[in-house]
Structure 1
Amino acid sequence: MTPTVDLCTFYSLEPARQALLGVYADVRADLLHLPNYAVSGFAERLERHSEEPGWVAVLAYEQGAPIGYAYANTIASEDRWWKRVTPAPSAEYTDRQALALKEIGVRTPWRGTGLARRIHDALLADRTEPYVSLMVNPLAGSGKVHHLYETWGYEDIGQSQPSPASPVLTVMARSIR
Structure 2
Amino acid sequence: MTTAAAIELRTFTELDAVRGDLLDVYAEVRAPLLHLPNYAVTAFGERLDRHSTEPGFAAVLAYADDQPVGYSYGNRIESGDRYWQRTNPALDEKYTVHPAVALKEIGVRPVWRGTGTARQIHDTFLASRDEQYVTLMVNEAAGDGKVHALYRSWGYEGVGHSQPSPASPRLTVMIRRTR
Q: What is the TM-score of this pair, normalised by structure 1?
A: 0.98
> Counterpart of 1:113?
115
Deviation (angstroms), 1:2: 8.4
CA distance in 2: counterparts of 1:51 and 1:12, whole angstroms: 9
> Counterpart of 2:153?
151
Aligned 8 A contact 2:4 2:117 in 1: no
CA distance in 2: counterparts of 1:78 and 1:85, whole angstroms: 11
Within a 5 Å distance, the mapping from 1:31-70 to structure 2 comes to 31-70=33-72
Name the SS of the counterpart of 1:22 in structure 2. helix
User: Stretches of 4+ moved more than 3 A in 1?
Assistant: none
1:101-157 superposed Cα distances (whole Å, 9 cap, x missing partner): 000000000001110000000000010000000000000011000000000000000
Deviation (angstroms), 1:76: 0.2
Aligned 8 A contact 1:3 1:63 in 2: no
Flag structure 2 segments of 5+ consecutive residues without an equivalent: none
What amino acid maps onto 2:121 in structure 1? I
Aligned 8 A contact 2:51 2:75 in 1: yes
Flag structure 1 segments of 5+ consecutive residues without an equivalent: none
For the aligned residue pairs, the C-alpha RMSD in angstroms reads 1.1
Name the SS of the counterpart of 1:101 in structure 2. strand
Q: What is the TM-score of this pair, normalised by structure 2?
A: 0.97
Q: Percent identity?
A: 61
Name the SS of the counterpart of 1:119 in structure 2. helix
